[in-house]
A and B are shown apart, each in its own frame.
Chain A
Amino acid sequence: MPSTQEDPLLTSARREMIVTLCIWLIAMIWTIGVSVTWGYGRDPATLKYVLGFPDWIFWGVIVPWATSTVVSAVFAMGFMQDAPLGDEEELRVDS
């Protein structure tokens, strides 16, 4: 019964959704992990600055932000797949 075959766009979209969720989870663990460990109740006397940012902000927000931007671009341009979106008329003719 060939008609039960899943739409290829659905298959790729679901895979991309799962990878996206993983990226989001890693970003959250990194950002909140680093910031909460180093930044909460931090003694200002020990505070160092990286490019003018407090060190925990630099490693906990700025660096993951830059990384996410690169990862998003690589994901979108290298991993995500194109598929025809189809349109209403096309489908009506087929079915």
Chain B
Amino acid sequence: MLLAVADHGYTVIVVLMVFLAASVWLGTMAQRTLEKKKFLEGFLLGNRGLGAWTLALTATVQSGGTFMGVPSLVYSHGWVVALWISSYMVVPLTGFAMVGKRVAQLSRRTGALTVPDLFRERFNDARVGVLASLLIIFFLSFTMFAQFKAGATIMKLAWPGSGPMVLSEDIIVQPAKDVPAKKGLDYKYLIGLLVFSITVVGYTMIGGFLASVWTDLFQSVLMVIGVMVLLCLALPEAGGLQHATEAGIAATGPKFAQGPGFHPDGRSFLTPGLAISMFFLWIYSGFASPASMIRVMAAHNTEVIRKSITLLSVYNCFIYIPIIMIAICGREMFPTLKQPDEIIPTMAMHLTREIPGGSLLTALILAAPFGAIMASVSCFVLVIASGLVQDFYIRFLHPHASETEIRRATRVAVLLVGIAGVIAALNPPTYLQALIVFSGSAGAAAFVTPALMTCYWRRATAPGVLSAMGAGFAVHLSLYGIGWIHNWALSFGEGATGLPRLIVDSLGPDLMLGTASAFRPYFLMGLDPVLWAMLASAVAGVMVSLISKPPTEEHLQRIYDGPARLVTGAASPA
């Protein structure tokens, strides 16, 4: 089996370099659209001119890591993963229709260029902006560090002779016996990291938001082509979907085709409670994530938002359902992969081996996640840098900065964030993957209520929104903390005494839910922490708003009432 995937020659590295070059070219194209006069609006929001395709295919598409994670989960746990990801059926709708129109309108009306800007303007309170900014920087940083690392790793593995190319870390770090255990700096990884970072930070610095969006669009199109090609090759090879499913059942047992899914050590991958949690998590982390909200702010008009819903709905159908089918076929073709992460690269190399130009096709399929990683890095760098400039530099350091100074500060901020990413990727925090999962859902917990309050609720107050953000974050953090302590106590086993015994007695036995990571949270009543955190955030936001002093009517008119022209004249919507 591994013979088929032994080596990929120079094709992959060449395709990746072409990818990088194309992105830099897109960056310089984007720079031409930047006006001198309104630099920040152009750099951060592309002059609010996004069309339907650019908005649809870049606003809520997941990062490369998440996207490549789905096939690996299907391979490991079987058909139930289709249910795990099923809420993507309404993500396009909720992503744009829950707050989209209002966010686009309010950001124009108040001149807000970032999410913290928007909250601050609505609540007329600098503390709201600062807290939102700090939370965003905190959440996005972990994800960004991981993406830097993933990008560098792909570059490294793309070198000829590196073996099968995968996104998993485990097979990379396999020190040979004669190599000292202390890991020195791997020069291939270092070169990969530098080339990757200089390119991505470079084109983001040149072209800003549009550079980021255009690369994202580019990779989204490649991704759907890759998935379609792979599906057409995999289905006949596996003898059809039904045969592949039966082979999966034969390899793992009946749980491959039933809930709550197969797990080697008997855990329940997706209990009904967790299935409901996922239906909340994907939806609410989608529309309230800062990266998706700034793209809606950049929408050209409401028609663009409407068309995007349709486009993205169709796109998701053609991405997620096929990728589940592909991974099921993968179980038939390669029943015993040790690293489930290898499934897509392994299949791609195996299926294209006899096709003329097959290695180029493989390279394109493998380059799609690389493109996704570039797009995410670029977007995160921009969001974090805009936070630094808008909420700290202009607010506190230099309130009367001129256009030239703002322009310089923005580019310096992009550069600084990029350097921080490189440093973190040189020596990544140990539990990076766990931190990413944590910060992704923590974002949903902290921002859903504030976003809804900003858009729709007149009575919401600054203390209310501050407590909504704080409570969501705090509850989420505590459930992860409790889970960590719980796992520590459980690790003592049956014969535990003293403090571990006390903890296990009060928190109960291991519920055997989810994955077997040491960082799994405490699933209170079998539900994901994000549900409890969102509930806490909503309750805190509403209660504190109601007991605090209402905002002034004069301020509210600007946010919630029609413009004077519309009110006195014909006030009919289209």
Contacts and interface: CB of A to CB of B under 8 A. Distances in A.
Interface of A: 2-14, 16-17, 19-21, 23-24, 27-28, 31-32, 35-36, 39-44, 47, 49, 51-54, 56-57, 60-62, 64-66, 68-69, 71-73, 75-77, 80-88, 90-91, 94-95
Interface residues of B, number: 70
A91 B82 CA distance: 47
B241 interface: yes
Contact of B310 (A8, A27, A76): A76
Nearest to A39: B259
B108 A85 contact: yes
Contacts of A72: 90, 92-93, 309-310, 313
B272 A80 contact: no
Contacts of A36: 259, 272, 275
Interface string B235-261: 000001110110001000010011110
B307 A76 contact: yes
B307 to A, nearest CB: 7
B105 A27 contact: no
B33 interface: no
Contact of B560 (A6, A32, A51): A6
Given A12-B573, A43-B254, A61-B86, 13 more contacts: A6-B562, A7-B563, A9-B573, A13-B99, A14-B456, A20-B94, A20-B97, A21-B98, A31-B87, A44-B257, A65-B317, A69-B89, A77-B310
A17 B97 contact: yes
The 7 lowest CB-CB distance pairs between A and B, nearest first, are A52-B241, A40-B259, A76-B309, A68-B89, A44-B254, A82-B574, A42-B258
A32 B275 CA distance: 7
B134 interface: no
Contacts, number: 219
B83 interface: yes
B561 A7 contact: yes
Contact of B93 (A32, A49, A75): A75
Contacts of A21: 98
A51 B301 CA distance: 41
A12 B272 CA distance: 35
A23 B102 contact: no
Contact of A94 (B89, B99, B560, B564): B564
B561 to A, nearest CB: 6
B20 to A, nearest CB: 34
Interface string B101-117: 11011001111000000
A10 B563 contact: no
Interface string B442-474: 000000000000011000000000000000000
A13 B101 contact: yes
B57 to A, nearest CB: 15
Contacts of B307: 76-77
B572 interface: yes
Contact of B313 (A64, A73, A84, A94): A73
A61 B328 CA distance: 15
B83 A3 contact: no
B303 interface: yes
Contact of A81 (B564, B567, B573): B573
27 contacts: A3-B561, A5-B567, A6-B562, A7-B566, A8-B571, A9-B573, A10-B560, A12-B101, A13-B101, A24-B90, A27-B87, A27-B89, A35-B83, A36-B275, A39-B80, A44-B254, A52-B244, A64-B86, A69-B89, A69-B314, A72-B90, A73-B309, A80-B101, A82-B306, A83-B302, A86-B108, A94-B563
Interface centre among A12, A32, A90 (most CB of B within 10 A): A32
Contacts of A35: 83, 86, 259, 275
A72 to B, nearest CB: 4
A91 B565 CA distance: 9
Nearest to A83: B573
B14 interface: no
B557 A39 contact: no
B313 A3 contact: no
Contacts of B506: none
Contacts of B119: none
Contacts of A62: 321
B279 interface: yes
Contacts of A23: 90, 93
Interface string B251-292: 000100111100000000000100110010001000000000
Contacts of A4: 557, 561
B438 interface: no
B201 to A, nearest CB: 30
B568 interface: yes
